[in-house]
Amino acid sequence: QSALTQPASVSGSPGQSITISCTGTSSDVGGSNYVSWYQLHPGKAPKLMIYDVIDRPSGASNRFSGSKSGNTASLTISGLQAEDEADYYCSSYTSSHTWVFGGGTKLTVL
């Protein structure tokens, strides 16, 4: 299985909105309701930010939202804050009953 495709990096200024894309195939992102997004800060456990494409777990800021169109899922962060600077990974369940992650996107808050 191939990793999902994410941009290597995105950046934005405090208060702005950014969107990170995650492109897969009809065997994963396009055909799955189980698309999720994770935030990784160095030395910390990954944190679930979005699950089931659009849902947000308790503990995740409502500035984070998810969407999907075809084989591409997206994570949008509105009202950027310095604490949002981190690596972000998408993930999808696949038709082969496996999980696949994206290559990761480094978010820089300018």
Partner 1 sequence: QVHLQESGPGLVKPSGTLSLTCAVSGGSISSSNWWSWVRQPPGKGLEWIGEIFHSGNTNYNPSLKSRVTISVDKSKNHFSLKLRSVTAADTAVYYCAKVGQLVGAHDHWGQGTQVTVSS
- Taking CA 74 as the corner, what is the angle to CA 78 and CA 32, rounded to the nearest 5 degrees? 140
Of 17-25, 47-55, 67-75, 78-86, which segment contacts partner 1 by CB under 8 A?
47-55
Which residue in the set 11, 17, 33, 69 belongs to the binding site for partner 1 (CB under 8 A)?
33
Residue 32 beta carbon to partner 1: minimum distance, rounded to whole angstroms = 8
Number of residues that bind partner 1 (CB under 8 A): 29
Which of 45, 82 has the CB closer to partner 1?
Answer: 45
Backbone angles phi, psi at 4, to 5 degrees: -70, 150
E strands of the chain, at which residues? 9-12, 18-23, 35-40, 47-50, 64-69, 72-77, 86-93, 99-101, 105-109
What is the binding site for partner 1 (CB under 8 A)? 1, 3, 32-36, 38, 44-48, 51-52, 55, 57, 89, 91, 93, 96-104
